[in-house]
Every structure is written in C-alpha cells, then in structure tokens.
Amino acid sequence: MRVLVQRSLKSSVTVNNKVTGKIAKGLVLLVGFTYNDTEKDIDYMVKKVLNLRIFDDENGIMNKSVLEIKGQVLSISQFTLYADSKKGNRPSYIKALKSAEAKKLYDLFNDKLKKQIKVETGIFGAEMQVTITNDGPVTILLES
C-alpha cells in the first residue's frame, strides 16, 4: 500500500463537472494498492497518516498531526502510484491491484479514517480533476 500525503490549505475533486469532495485545511491522500496488501496494511497506514506530525506548532515547527489541528482528509484512489516506467516510455501498471479488489481495500481504508476524522473522496475508478493547494509544499510518500 502506498499513500502520497500532501499537506493542504484547501483541496477538491471534481467528476463530470460535479464536486464530489472538498476540504479546508488538512491532508490530501493519493492512495494505491498492490498485491498482498491486507487490512493490517490499512490499519498501519490509518495510524501513520492520522499521527504524522507535519503541521506547524506555535513555534513554526512541524510538530502537529492532522488530528491535533482538527483538519480534514481528501482521499483519492490512485492506481498509478504503482506505475513502473523502467522499460520504455509507457508505464506498466502490472503491480497495481486489480480494480475490484483495490476498491474493497480503498473503501475499508476510508471507513477506518472516517471513524476519527472528516473524510471526503472522489469516485473510485473515475476520471477526476483534483485541485490541491499544497501547503509548504509538504509531500511525503508512505509505504506499508
């Protein structure tokens, strides 16, 4: 499981000219799954994402989590996180989990996040336009 975390001032996702998810200050998560990912990977990633200290404290030091700042999460499914472009110029997605299986894990990941924080999402498998105001910029790749 890979999650690309971006600290955001505000972000949104649009599908077919309709906003399906929108957040104020918080995290944008681009989420991808590969073979052998399990609920254990999801539990690890939920804990890691929610407790990642990348928001400034009163001294301007990145020392607070999204939970501590009462932020929000915009979660976007992103199979291209498992692109392999070592050979040629056309990426291979063979390492990305098949859609039906990935959707189940993605939904479980979001459900577990929603127990602790406000979560907005795009639509799994849809063509999406994601607008991210990356704060910092701060972008961190997490892997389980």
pTM to 2 decimal places: 0.96
pLDDT band at 68 (very low <50, low <70, confident <90, very high): very high
Could you write out the DSSP letters of every residue in the chain?
-EEEEEEEEEEEEEETTEEEEEESSEEEEEEE-BTT--HHHHHHHHHHHHH---EE-TTS-EEE-TTTTT-EEEEEE-GGGG-B-SSSSS-B-TTBPPHHHHHHHHHHHHHHHHTTSEEEE--TTS--EEEEEEEEEEEEEEE-
Residue 37 has a pLDDT of 98
User: Which residues are known catalytic residues?
Assistant: 80
Give me the CATH number covering residue 76: 3.50.80.10
Residue 10 has a pLDDT of 98
Total structural domains in the chain?
A: 1
Residue 142 has a pLDDT of 98
Instruction: Show the domain range for 53.
Output: 2-143
State pLDDT tens for residues 79-95.
999 999 999 999 999 99
